[in-house]
Chains A and B, each alone.
Chain A
């Protein structure tokens, strides 16, 4: 599987501020994905980060709230903008497996608490 480094691992932020989460992969991947895991809940896909084009957002998620960058095939960022306590979640990036492609492997996650 790919080695995925996600930063920061956790943060406590004031409401109204923004936080940018970084995801670095040790090999080039065509697609990177961002998920949210609210406390005690399952994972929900936020968006697909496409290299060279705008991210594709899932229903209920918008670019103004969760802007995404994908400057190259090994790196992506997710920004959580104008945060409120409801944004307190774990945010995870995900990339395909190297060998078979369909598997998804996850970064260690960013545990965000908004106060």
Chain B
């Protein structure tokens, strides 16, 4: 089955700096790659996603890139703010209705003011 590796497990950045989280996946059939943000005690919230027919997607301060050949994708957060502090999860799935998701291990991001 699919295996998703996520790095780093923790990331501390200064407010205003950029944060980058990287994930690799094993199943070349995976075609949908969402990113979730989970604040303490809350449910995971979808923040951005990308499909395999796209190499990059941006939404304000966050962007995701996908390299299908290398089977890796990354989340980029620019101009980080304290409210960006949370745990971020990448995931991968197959198929249009594929929210049978395989998650990465998570990255705890701390933005220091």
Q: Which residues of A contact B (CB under 8 A)?
A: 30-31, 33, 41-45, 48, 59, 92, 94-96, 101-109
Contacts and interface: CB of A to CB of B under 8 A. Distances in A.
A43 B99 contact: no
A67 to B, nearest CB: 19
B27 to A, nearest CB: 14
B54 to A, nearest CB: 13
22 contacts: A31-B99, A42-B104, A42-B105, A42-B106, A43-B44, A43-B89, A43-B101, A45-B100, A45-B101, A59-B1, A92-B44, A94-B99, A96-B97, A96-B99, A101-B96, A102-B99, A103-B34, A103-B46, A103-B49, A106-B43, A107-B43, A109-B43
Query: Is chain B's interface secondary structure helix, strand, loop, or mixed overall?
Result: loop
Contacts of A108: 42-43
Given A30-B97, A101-B97, A106 B102 contact: no
Interface of B: 1, 32, 34, 42-44, 46, 49, 51, 89, 93, 95-106
B46 A105 contact: yes
Contacts of B1: 59
A71 to B, nearest CB: 21
Given A95-B99, A104-B34, A107-B43, 14 more contacts: A31-B97, A33-B99, A33-B100, A45-B101, A59-B1, A92-B44, A101-B96, A101-B97, A102-B32, A102-B51, A102-B98, A104-B99, A106-B43, A108-B42
